[in-house]
Structure 1
Amino acid sequence: MLGLAAEVAFWLFLSLLPLVAVAGLIAAKLTVGHDAAVGSWLGAVPPSTRALVRRELAQLAASSGRTVGPVGTLIFVWLASSGIHSLFDAFDAMTNRERSWTRKRVTALGSCVLLALGGAALALLMRGVVWTRALLDLADTPVPETIGAAARLAAGGVLVLAVVASLYAIGIPKPSWRGRVLPILPGAVLATLLQAVLAFGYSLVIRMTGDGSAYLAGLATIGVTMTVVYLAVLSILLGVAVNEWWRIWRRARRSVAPATAPTAPTARAA
């Protein structure tokens, strides 16, 4: 599992740039002009980086979209799908099942669209939080910051859980036609909890880099990001292993239950 996680993390790290570019196009259109939403995303980064990202988001949202044509968009999606494709290869290796390259590539392309929609949903979620707070302020109904943070954390956790569960449902190969119903929720919950811990640790480490040397901060960010990507992939693969163990345990339990069932007493001869 460790070797598979390292291989997938390598391809995912190479796919981060096109994947973030596609998600950035959507996020820029949905969050520009809402400083509170953008600030909640960039709360862990240094102020200078935060200002740079704000300017880039404003310029990207102001563009008409003609600079990135359909061909460029398809290339970005194709490159981003390479990391998802490698993740599906790892799913095949862990479940001892094989699918064709074409099928996995088409599924990876669809998963990239799913991730882009997840990014759009997250952006809409942040805008909804901002609008809700604005309405409560107009109604003179103060909301404690802890309640708002807990609501954002819960909504984000549910969204991540839905994305991970969808990734399992799409990417894990089915064992047979009769056994197409696979357990997904146990591994998805475990992967979501582990990724929440990773997200907290990542933001904490990035915040500790401070506004020192840009060169050292850039190297630290790259190193931490590569480590977090590896650990995130490991958490996803661990969730796949949990789902596979759960499926085998349920199948063994069903096969043992009829054999251990008590037999009906036979009538005595008169």
Structure 2
Amino acid sequence: MLNLKVGGVPEHFNYPWYITLKNKEYTKHNINLRWQDFPGGTGAMCKALRAGDIDIAIVLTEGIIKDIIEGNPSKITQTFVKTPLVWGIHVGAKSKFEKIDDLENATVAISRYGSGSHLMAIVNAHNNGWDIQKLKFKVVGNLQGGINALTNGDADYFMWEHFTTKPLVDNGTFRRLGDCPTPWPCFVVAVRDEVLENNFNEVKKVLDIINNCTADFKEIKSIDETLATRYEQQLEDIREWLSITEWNDGLPVSEELITEIQNKMISFNVIEKSEDSGKLIRNMYI
């Protein structure tokens, strides 16, 4: 049996993986797939891919593109969630800041450099016409680190997925000053080159299984109630999230899409120059 390790954030986007693992769908094809939570997000997963600690990662598009350009020996095999991710812009409950404009010279908490919270802070700054070179960052590791930093005054604002942090807004830990959606599909599947080289068919089978699950995910009986309970969310928030979220429909990721995203990332000063998009992806369906 082939051992494969897959990593992702412990959030509602990845519940289809839980379902397919619980149903032992990979085992039926002689694949021992093991899941690892990465509360630290994309930056932590990029590091784990580089180290060979995981074989497959469900990562933020902007983060893995930047890391592959910088030498991560992995390829993007497909989009996982094709709709944008909505990043909430949060301050602490007792913060003096009242609106996004107030944050121009403030310190932003990020999970780590190269993470979504880091790169989207740059996108947000660009959107607001701020000088990106003057952004100040405080590395906090994960969501709990962001909570601590904003509560203790070690940082001024923190960007994290809107619905994941909604309970913290509801209970008064955070105040949300606004949102910043990603200008591209938010999650992709990245696989280490070595694994693609040696186990291409098995990886394709894994993707076929998860794509089959996500295709019907919204039709699963009482899925909204299941997600609300598991992720401690209000039912109306989960229903809103489901209404704006679309998973991959089985189509391969195109060079044109990756080129378009790279061009946007250059305009946001997230990357300095683009790479041949064909070198960043591996089409599983040729």
TM-score by length of 2: 0.28
Bigger fraction of residues in strand: 2
Q: Pick the structure with greater CA Rg.
A: 1
Bigger fraction of residues in helix: 1
TM-score by length of 1: 0.29
